[in-house]
Structure 1
Amino acid sequence: MISDPHFYLAAIPAVILMGLAKGGFAGIGMLGVPMLALVVSPVQGAAITLPILMVQDAISIAAYWKKWDTRNILILMPGAIIGIIIGYLLAAKVSDGPFYLALGFISVVFGLRSLFAANLTPKKAGIPAGLFWGVAAGFTSMIANAGAPPFQLYVLPQRLARDIFVGTSIAFFAIVNWIKLPGFWALGQFTEQNMLTTAVLIPLAVVSTWAGVWLVRRTSNDRFYKIIYGLMVLVGLKLMHSGIELIWL
């Protein structure tokens, strides 16, 4: 188990943010990823958090049972599988900076436009776009647990009911996390130290996930979408910052 107190100063708020995200405030969990990057390597941080995310997935699936849009999941999943494979094969070779910068910029523009626009017309889930954003979600999820922005760019314009949007996000990423599992196992990251650290953080993960569910259920549909768009802008800004750092530093 990791014993450095500095690790837990970063890990505890990161796990709380992940729990709130799994409870329904999609995207906010990605704001916790940079916290872990301050104290452990990105790969080790992803390995420690993946089992935590899977426990949180189980809680969220139970809370939003059958409240998901199957068509969206079926459209996104083939691309996500391709993206996960690409991420596993190329994570150590590809330059992520331009990708993060572009994805962050798109997320910020879309989030701001949606945040301040009135009476947005819902759009139907298109198959070509779903395959594209599925690849992007799978790739970014594999290399940095950052699959929420591509998913949101595809699903948010459909203006699904609050619980259906949350349930679809949870079900999609629950499947994605199980698909990612063999890759992290092959990378040799499920060490005794990492898994004992995960076990210590799981109780906090459970409590924070239920807190997220509780908060979402007390948020109106319109206010919920305003919050999600606002979080999308924050996440997009973080992606742009990460992209600029990777390109110029």
Structure 2
Amino acid sequence: MISGLSGADWTLLALGALLVGVAKTSIGGVGSISVALFAAVLPARESSGALLPLLICGDLLAVAVYRRHANWPALLRLLPSVVAGIVLGTVFVAWVDDTVMRRTIGGTLLAVVVVHLWQRRRPGAGAGRVRAAVFGLLSGFTTMVANAGGAVMSLYLLSAGYRKLEFLGTAAWFFLIVNVFKVPFSAGLGLIDGDSLGLNAALVGAVLLGAVVGRAVIRRLDQARFEKLVLLFTVVSSLNLLR
């Protein structure tokens, strides 16, 4: 994996790793761009395994910063359906090719954005528990298939009306738990191996730098601009995956 990479490839991967750190400590939707950048350099299946340890590194940094702001009742409501989504995603990855994986994720994310915008026009639409179950299933499925669950989770937290710090704290704990839970599934599918871990070792510094940048950015964002940027980056990444 490493030996065949060009200078341009390394640049894209380093940028993707940097954006992992930014996403974990500020604008969650940016993380979907990391997925797209890794998939542009590596085959979709391999890119998923190569990105996962970097995401866990970013999760640890986010938990260290925002651990006191998590909404644990919300997390406990989500986790059962997330586990079901991860199992479903594991089966899906084992059976489909890269193109189907990429387009499925792009279409799902775009559909979730449309539903979110529709629900903002009708604030009473959808029961809380039903919404949590649906978003949990989608988040588990998309995070297992292409590490793209961050966009789904971001939209769920926005639709639930979470303020900025509670949003970041809940997402930090959620993805640390979920991504660690995914490791044996990804390893079992052959997506994580010695080669991919070598790539992670070369890129982890970019994640740390991104976390510092993210902390600086989040201090300058008010709630309204924060929500708009999450939606914008989710839509951009969705359209890229549909190509």
Same fold per superposition (TM over 0.5): yes
Judged with a 3 Å threshold, the aligned counterparts in structure 2 of structure 1 residues 49 and 106 are, in CA distance, closer, same or farther, namely closer
**Is 1:101 paired with 2:103?**
no
Partner of 2:156, secondary structure, is: helix
Partner of 2:69, secondary structure, is: coil
The residue that corresponds to 2:135 in the other structure is 133
Partner of 2:41, secondary structure, is: coil
Give the TM-score of the pair, scaled to structure 2: 0.87
CA-to-partner distance for each residue in 1:213-246, whole Å, 9 max, x for gaps? Answer: 221122222322232232233234335xx2xx4x
Q: How many residues align?
A: 237
Tell me, yes or no, if the aligned pair for 1:77 and 1:134 is still in contact at 8 Å.
yes
What code does the residue aligned with 2:110 have? G
145-154 or 171-180, which deviates more:
145-154
The residue that corresponds to 1:162 in the other structure is 164
Structure 1 gaps of 5+ residues are: none
Question: Whole-Å Cα distance in 1 between the matches of residues 177 and 108 of structure 2?
Answer: 26
Question: Whole-Å Cα distance in 1 between the matches of residues 14 and 49 of structure 2?
Answer: 16
Question: Whole-Å Cα distance in 2 between the matches of residues 84 and 139 of structure 1?
Answer: 5
Tell me, yes or no, if the aligned pair for 2:86 and 2:143 is still in contact at 8 Å.
yes
- CA drift of 1:170 comes to 1.4
The residue that corresponds to 1:83 in the other structure is 85
RMSD over equivalenced CA pairs, Å: 2.5
Structure 2 gaps of 5+ residues are: none
What code does the residue aligned with 1:110 have? H
Question: Whole-Å Cα distance in 1 between the matches of residues 65 and 33 of structure 2?
Answer: 23
CA-to-partner distance for each residue in 1:139-183, whole Å, 9 max, x for gaps? Answer: 000011111232233221222121001111111111110110001
Give the TM-score of the pair, scaled to structure 1: 0.85
- CA drift of 1:190 comes to 2.8
Tell me, yes or no, if the aligned pair for 2:106 and 2:240 is still in contact at 8 Å.
no
Partner of 1:64, secondary structure, is: helix
Question: Whole-Å Cα distance in 1 between the matches of residues 73 and 62 of structure 2?
Answer: 20
The percent of aligned pairs where both chains have the same amino acid is 28
Question: Whole-Å Cα distance in 1 between the matches of residues 226 and 127 of structure 2?
Answer: 21
